[in-house]
Structures are given as structure tokens and as C-alpha cells.
Structure 1
Amino acid sequence: MKISTKGRYGLTIMIELAKKYGEGPISLKSIAQAHNLSEHYLEQLIAPLRNARLVKSIRGAYGGYILAKDPQNITAGDIIRVLEGPITPVEGIEDEEPAKRHLWIKIRDAIKDVLDNTTLEDLASFTDDNEQDAYMFYI
């Protein structure tokens, strides 16, 4: 399974909304500028997220978008499924021989586990410090 720009940029939108959760609406223009992305493309991605009730739109001069739920209640899997469709590493798993089918199912389940156990809150609060395994040497 390869995540397209729809999934990647959709996650970008949602992470930015999660970082500003509770602070009011955020414009797609500001997200596009901050990440050097096409505002027009982001507008195409926000519609299915709104239809899935993951975001709400706020009209007006100071309008934009806000999360429809708390960031801890939205997973990466929710977003990827809306924008990319079902999570499957191989089309036609049911037609595979049993050994390969078992492998594809294990891969699918591992991907689902990671996506469904990673919340927007996790992604919004992530820093490089969270993954730092290196030793710090002082001279």
C-alpha cells in the first residue's frame, strides 16, 4: 500500500488543526503557506474530511476549519481511510494461495494497528526529542 499525496497532505491539514485545537478556525491558506502546498489541492482534500465529520467549516472573515472532535478521538487511520479508501497492501487477497494470503493479512493488520493506535494528539505533540536515541557528548 502506498499512501498518496491525498493521505499525506490530509494528515498535514489535520495535524495543523490539532495543534491549534481550541484556538479557533484555521484557514487552508495559512496551512498551505506554512507547508508550501497548493491551497486549491487542500480545498479538494478538506471536503471529504468535512463529509466524514472529522472537521467543521466556519464561515466569515475570520473563518476556516476546526476539528469536529478532540484530537485524541481522531486516529491517523480515520483520516487515511477517508482519503485513500480501505487499507490493503494487495488487491484481491481472497484469490491468493493460503500462505501468501496469510502474509498479506498480517501486513494489513500491522498497518491498521499502527494507524488506528496513533491519534492526532500523538502526531500534533510529536517532536524529534521523542525519538532521540543518540548520546549527548559534552566537551
Structure 2
Amino acid sequence: MRLSTKGRYGVLAMYELARRYGDGPISIKEIAAIQDFSNAYMEQLFSALKKSGLIKSLRGARGGYQLSRPPAEITVGQIIDALEGPIELAECVGGPEGFVCKKSADCVTRGLWMEVQDSIRGIIDHRTLEDLLIQSGAVLPVED
């Protein structure tokens, strides 16, 4: 399993929005320049993040994007799910609804894969953008 650039870049872009939470909207161009990403790729990511309700856009000369909720209320798991879909370590532990592996009754590794997937989910579903701000030593934004 490997997280794609969508998930990795998306978390970094959301971190930038969290860092400036409460300061008003930020343009994609500005975030792309800070993180050294292409504008076109950021537009794709922000389209998915907006569709998922994690960010909102404001139009006009001072328009741009901002978080739809405070950094403490947005998890890394929500960002990754919005951009990559649910993490599926193996079909037997996270595959399509109703999927049943014909070997699951005798599979000696299914429990291991379930434990690994649950551990990953446990971390990303509880780590918030605010946690990343604290970890980086950034000054926490003042909530509205």
C-alpha cells in the first residue's frame, strides 16, 4: 500500500489552510508556491476537497479557499478519504460491500491485515490539522 501524491499533497495543502485559519481565503496559486506544487494539480485536489465539504471557496479579488471548519475538527483521515477514497489494505478487510474471499475462513493472515488497517485508520482518523500545527510548532490560529 502506498499513499499517492493526492493524499500527501492534499494533507500539506490543508495544513497551509489550517496555518492561516481565520486570516481569510488563500489562493491556490499562493499555496502551490509555498509547497512547490503545480497550480493545475492543486486545482484538481481543491475541487475534490470542496466537493467533500472540507473547504469552501470565496470569489472575487480577495477570493480563494479556506477551511470549512476549525483545524481541530478536520482529520487527516477525512482528507485522505476525500482525495483517495477509503484505505483498503486488502480486499478481504476493506473491499467492496458484500465481498467475501473464498479463502477467508481458512486465511491465517486476514486477522493481521485487519489489525494493520485498523491501526492506520486509528491514527489518521484521530490526527487533526490542529495536531499537525502543534507538531510543527506553528502558532495556533485564533478561532472566529
- Tell me the TM-score normalized by structure 2: 0.84
Report the equivalent of 1:123: 132
Distance 1:2 1:91 in 2: 15
Q: 2:121 matched to 1:112?
A: yes
- Give the letter aligned to residue 117 of structure 1: H
Correspondence list, 1:1-139, <5 A: 1-93=1-93, 94-95=100-101, 96=104, 97-127=106-136
Number of positions where the alignment pairs a residue of Structure 1 with one of Structure 2: 128
- Cα distance, 1:42 vs structure 2: 0.4
CA RMSD across the alignment:
1.3
- Tell me the TM-score normalized by structure 1: 0.87
Distance 2:118 2:50 in 1: 27
Percent identity, please.
47
* Structure 1, unpaired ranges of 5+: 129-139
- Structure having the higher helix fraction is 1
Distance 2:69 2:86 in 1: 22
Distance 2:86 2:76 in 1: 13
Distance 1:99 1:22 in 2: 50
- Deviation string 1:4-55 (CA, Å, 9 cap, x unpaired) is 0000111011000000000000111011111111010000011111011100
Q: Is the 8 A contact 1:16 1:124 kept in 2?
A: no
| Structure 1 stretches of at least 4 aligned residues deviating more than 4 Å after TM superposition | none
